[in-house]
Amino acid sequence: MRKRVVVTGLGCVSPVGNNVKDTWQALLAGRSGAAPITAFDASAHKTRFASEVKGFDPVALFGTRDARKMDRFTQFASAAALEAIAHSGLTIDETNRDRVGILIGSGIGGIITLIEQYEVMKQRGPDRVSPFLIPMMISDGAAGNIAIRVGARGPNMSVATACASGTNALGEAAEMIRRGAADVMIAGASEAAISSIAMAGMNVMTALSTRNDDPQKASRPFDKDRDGFVMGEGAGILILESLEYAQARGANILCEFTGYGTTDDAHHISAPAEDGAGAANSMRLAMKDAGLGLEEIDYINAHGTSTYLNDKSETSAIKSVFGQQAYKIPVSSTKSMTGHLLGASGALEAVFCSMAIMENILPPTINYTTPDPVCDLDYVPNQPRKAEPGNIMSNSFGFGGHNATLILSRFTK
């Protein structure tokens, strides 16, 4: 029999709060993190706003010496991991450090450091490039840095599946615990890609909203007037443990990780399959993994990017899986408030799903004003909703056709 996996700690850095408490309160208040870009001069760009993390002070958290050796995405991941570990009450020492692993996803990694150091090389020559460039740039930098900081010597790696990275990271971390490779996994994802080149690339793909006159209403998943996603940044980290290990140390169990499914569309490098077939298969696999029927899913945290193709495709996929039951399941997109954190989105949304179970309330889809006939489900419009979800599904889909779905459930002994 495979091991049961439970969630014992949560941590995050987001565009609407630099910890779980502040972020969750912002979601329930329906507050958007979108605003004009401050990280660089965006005046020449079609999209001049994003959902940036605000007031984050890495020097205060890590000291000047350590902070300057970490890319922004690693700083976010480290801060969220420390919060999650503290929340879980987990002590990592010689008695367990070889059984504590880390799996941190990132779709892009240290792109800000790469851009900065490329400019240094152009202006001052190759010998002036930082010796920390490579470890700061590579996508496994977050997992490696966290291991050094907390002393965890178990399995350690990164996963990159574009915007599905966070959900895949959590799913693969849970699988490691299930098969006995670790007792504890510090798992999630981080992203810090709000840069001139990334915004330019997304704009020429027509992926981003261009509502420069009203950024806070730009992310409008499933709304008829949606025109693209809002770039976000941040991190979400969960502490996953085998049930036996968590109970033996007297941990407070927040919820249970019960289901995981992952597939690929094999259709197009950036566009989802119109009928959502790959996404639908991912959802079916997650329910099979959790041993749940159609009527046992109480809420879906959608990928819900606010792009025309994704929202239409995801709605089709949900209806394909659930049939008429789809109309009875609340579905919301928290990207309407946080923006799209790319590789980190699924991990941050798993934090939200955990909070929804703990707090008995569903976060809304804000900016939902004009229903779209092709998106006709219950999207929890504009206001949070009291509920007692027993099983929550969370979807993440990424360029390359990657699909990942997880299910978190109310813990029962």
CA nearest 391: which of 318, 269, 301, 264? Answer: 301
Structure tokens at 107: 């779709």
Classify each residue of 92-125 as buried b or exposed e, where b means 16 or more C-beta atoms within 10 Å of its C-beta: beeebbebbbbbbbbbbbbbbbbbbbeeeeeeee
Given 45, 87, 303, 402, the catalytic residue: 303
C-alpha neighbours within 13 Å on the C-beta side of residue 44: 6
| DSSP 8-state assignment for residue 40 | S
What span, in angstroms and rounded, lies between the C-alpha atoms of 63 and 263?
41
Given 12, 45, 87, 163, the catalytic residue: 163
Structure tokens at 240: 């996953």
Handedness of CA 125, 131, 132, 135 (dihedral sign): positive
375 as an active site residue: the answer is no
Q: How far apart are the first and last CA of the chain?
A: 16
Type of residue found at 213: D
340 as an active site residue: the answer is yes
267 as an active site residue: the answer is no
Given 45, 87, 340, 402, the catalytic residue: 340
| Active site residues per annotation | 163, 303, 340
